[in-house]
Amino acid sequence: MSTRGHAMAAGAVLAVAAALGALQAWALAWPWPVGAGPWLRSGEPAAWLALLAHAAAVVGVARARSAGAAAARALVWTATWLATTFGWLYISMHVYGGMPGWLAAVAVAALALFLALDYAVMAWVWWRWRPAAPWAAALAWAAAWTLAELARGVLWTGFHWGALGYTQVDALGWAAPWVGVYGLGLVTAALAAWLALARGAWRWAAAALCVLLWGWPGLGAWVQQRLPDATAAAGTLPVRLLQGAIAQDDKFDPERGIAVALRWYGQQLVQAASDERLAGGLVVAPETAIPLLPQDVPADYWRTLLGHVRQGHVAVLIGLPLGSFERGYTNSVVGWRPGQALPVDDAELPAALSAYRYDKHHLVPFGEFIPPGFRWFVDLMRMPLGDFARGALPQPPLTWAGQRIAPHVCYEDVFGEELAAAFADAASAPTVLVNVSNIAWFGDTVAIDQHRQIARVRALELGRPMLRATNTGSTAAIDHRGRVLAELPRAQRGVLDVVVQGRSGLTPYARWASRWGLAPVLLASLLLWGLAGLFGGRRRAP
């Protein structure tokens, strides 16, 4: 073949790798039309799509002529996967941040390429030292893939959004309480690689196993119902979730945003406080529902609100920024319960407002803190955000109505090991999880669906219901088995009333992740790769 022919063939291979990356991203939040049949509307086709796209990509990496070519194919595949997954970052930087469109696109692509380097290095190492036996090569691939996922989830503050394991919530979600999202990804990568690398009868065996696990509609739910539940019911909690649906470009406008937020959320909180149907319940408003520091809101507003809560029947959680220029700022959730003492004068107001307080721990780079050397990048955007202080880990839950309610803010629920830190002691572990978010920064995009998928996995891992109060979606209640109980239409103002069941007891994942974090995942991956190399034989270099 001529040099030009080789170049065209190499380009075609990379184009296929890019297409496979886009398919793997599409599987994260399955966007099938509502009019389709129930199986197509479920998440099970997404699990199939991710498995087959991953298997095809493994074939391409394995057949590369050199370690460098394998790394290049993995880089294109995973960079496309990541860029397609979080392409909505462009909206926050360009539409709301004011960054030039070309530069925002370059920034998204650069981030995807940077994060894809973990997978490119993984592919280079795997190609050079993979075992000869196909089964061992598949295990080594799964271990290497998981190590790359760990690197992306931990290094440079971590950004594990869109990991392979999230595509499997409806097929393999029953295993999440034991192995977590990294374990789901490892199993998926191992079976995909076995399907790609096995030969003869072993390939048919791999295909049969994949059909069994992924091809039987409802198998995941069937298995989940028959496995022992490590958690137990801990009472019910009536809940009202608020969704203000205030557009991000209006959020900080005095009339179209701030005044609307103060009026609407104030009315909803006052009404909920005296609603007998919510007696002993909880009302939750989203991240920065009040987009002002408390001292910038009239004191009479807070006194009125606190007065109704004091005489009412419900506890309240609401997101708002706290702090001052001198003390620093936090992205926080404050909470109040009935019976709380009212402030006598303005000097007592700050303490009354933070009777319960949660400060966001895992901050967003560039949005909530500025990495060293990147001030110039943030200066290109017109975001009313800056450097925030980091909250402790873990922080105590809000205790109310026999429940221990643990809030967290926005993409903190990507880091399951951090949420698990509150589960070290079963007696004080949360019984209900609450996420407050504002995904309006990313428009009406698939980011909303992806975040709901992530929340479902967290509920499964920790065996707790997950309540989500957001500005534009997904405002939803998810039970401890990862099932969406109820959800508001996205980008519409409304309230969601639902009753959730608190849970006590610890899942296996909660036990090991609360004590050792991600160390077991790291050690298991290294051990798996070592065993594959020890018993899989050495491969001859081509």
Model confidence over 18-27: pLDDT tens digits? 999 998 988 8
Task: Quote the mean pLDDT of the chain.
Answer: 88
Contact 229, 498 (CB under 8 A): no
Q: Given this model, what pLDDT does residue 379 score? A: 60
DSSP 157: G
Judge whether 88 and 447 are in contact, CB under 8 Å: yes
Going by DSSP bridges, is the β-strand pair 232-243/494-504 parallel, antiparallel, or unpaired? antiparallel
Task: Among 62-71, 197-206, 306-315, 396-405, name the one with the lowest average pLDDT.
Answer: 197-206
Q: Say which range, 9-18, 26-35, 180-189, 434-443, has the weakest mean pLDDT.
A: 26-35
Q: How many CA atoms lie within 13 A of 364 on its CB side?
A: 20
Indicate the SS3 state at residue 239: strand
Give the per-residue pLDDT at 207.
81
Which listed residue (44, 360, 368, 418) is catalytic? 360
C-beta neighbour count of 390 within 10 angstroms = 15
Q: pLDDT tens digits for 447-461?
A: 999 999 999 999 999
Q: Distances in Å between the alpha carbon of 63 and those of 37, 71, 116, 419, 535?
A: 38, 12, 20, 40, 22
Number of helical H runs and strand E runs in the chain = 18, 12
Catalytic residue among 410, 412, 417, 487: 410
- Lay out the sheet containing 328-336: strands in order across: 356-359, 328-336, 314-324, 281-284, 232-243, 494-504
pLDDT of residue 473: 86
pLDDT digits (tens, 9 = 90+) for 96-110: 888 889 999 999 999
DSSP 256: I
Per the document, the length of the chain is: 542
Both tokens of residue 516?
A: 């050792």
More confident residue, 371 or 74: 74
β-pairing, 484-487 with 476-478?
antiparallel
Q: What is the pLDDT of residue 222?
A: 75
pLDDT band at residue 380 under the 50/70/90 scheme: low
Which residues lie closer than 8 Å to 121 by C-beta, 6 or more apart?
71, 148
Query: CA-CA distance, 477 to 455, in Å (whole number)?
Result: 10
Q: How confident is the model at residue 482, as a pLDDT?
A: 94
**pLDDT above 80 for 50:** yes
Burial class (CB in 10 A: 0-12, 13-18, 19+), 379: exposed
Question: In whole angstroms, what is the distance from residue 460 CA to residue 370 CA?
Answer: 33
Question: Which has the closest alpha carbon to 267: 495, 441, 19?
Answer: 495
Catalytic residue among 149, 210, 251, 287: 287
Point out the least confidently predicted range of 23-32, 131-140, 249-258, 288-297. 23-32
* Lowest-confidence segment of 179-193, 341-355, 512-526 by average pLDDT: 341-355
State residue 6's pLDDT score.
53
Average pLDDT over residues 148-163: 93
- Residue 198 vs residues 39, 58, 66, 148: alpha-carbon distances, Å: 29, 12, 20, 23
**Are the C-beta atoms of 299 and 260 separated by less than 8 Å?**
no
**251 catalytic residue (yes or no):** no
- Do 158 and 417 touch, CB atoms closer than 8 A? no
Who's near 169: CB < 8 A, 6+ residues apart? 43, 176, 184, 453, 456, 457, 460, 482
* Average of per-residue pLDDT across 67-86: 96
Percentage of the chain lying above the pLDDT 70 cut: 90
Q: What is the mean pLDDT of residues 409-415?
A: 94
Q: Are 58 and 192 in contact (CB under 8 A)?
A: yes
Residue 10 has pLDDT above 80, yes or no: no
Per-residue pLDDT averaged across 477-483, rounded? 95
Q: Is the pLDDT of residue 376 over 70?
A: no
